[in-house]
Amino acid sequence: MPDTPGNQELYPQHGSQKAGAGFPIARLVGVISLAHGALLDVTMGPYKGKGTGEHALFRELLKCFSASPESRQLPSWW
């Protein structure tokens, strides 16, 4: 990710780094098909702050999962 002022604002760098000495940090969460190994969808957010954890970002990806009877038989991990 480029170290631009816009990226620094949206995705701040780690708190232990001096200002201007590091790169912005983002958190990526993706859904991968176990049958094909394909990346089905991905979302990105800041690495810290309210609503930026893996669970919050994963909720944005729930549309990838069908409501078919077959998928309801799979175990739930969230």
> Tell me, what's the pLDDT at 46?
86
Output the six-digit token pair for 10. Answer: 């949206």
Question: Who wins on pLDDT, 64 or 38?
Answer: 38
Domain extents in the chain? 27-64
Q: DSSP letter for 57, please.
A: H
Mean pLDDT of the chain: 79
Q: What is the pLDDT of residues 3-55, one digit of tens each?
A: 888 887 887 777 777 776 778 888 999 999 888 889 989 999 888 878 778 88
Question: Who wins on pLDDT, 77 or 38?
Answer: 38
> Tell me, what's the pLDDT at 70?
56
